[in-house]
Amino acid sequence: MAHSTYKVESYLPLRVRPVKLRDSLYLLIPVDIARLLGVASSSDFQLSLNENQESVRLVYELKKEEAQPGDGKKG
């Protein structure tokens, strides 16, 4: 499998709102970011919660070896 090299630097946070489907809420990955990272419908993420007195940070981790080349569309 060919590995793509990418570096993501973000100084301004991207604001997303949850989408409600039935009884659950989902945070969607914008298409351009999914393509950049090689996210596919089969990608597995690890979710961590980092809490301090002011906020809770949700951290979604995708291992680089899990990223798929291409545009992230299901074939």
Give the pLDDT of residue 46. 95
- Asked if 68 and 43 touch (Cβ cutoff 8 Å), the reply is yes
Q: In sequence order, what are the residues at sequence separation of 6 or more whose Cβ sits closer than 8 angstroms to the Cβ of residue 53?
A: none
Token pair of 19 as six digits: 């989408």
The pTM of this model reads 0.62
The model's pLDDT over 16-65, given as tens digits with 9 standing for 90+, comes to: 899 999 999 999 999 988 998 899 999 999 999 999 999 999 999 998 87
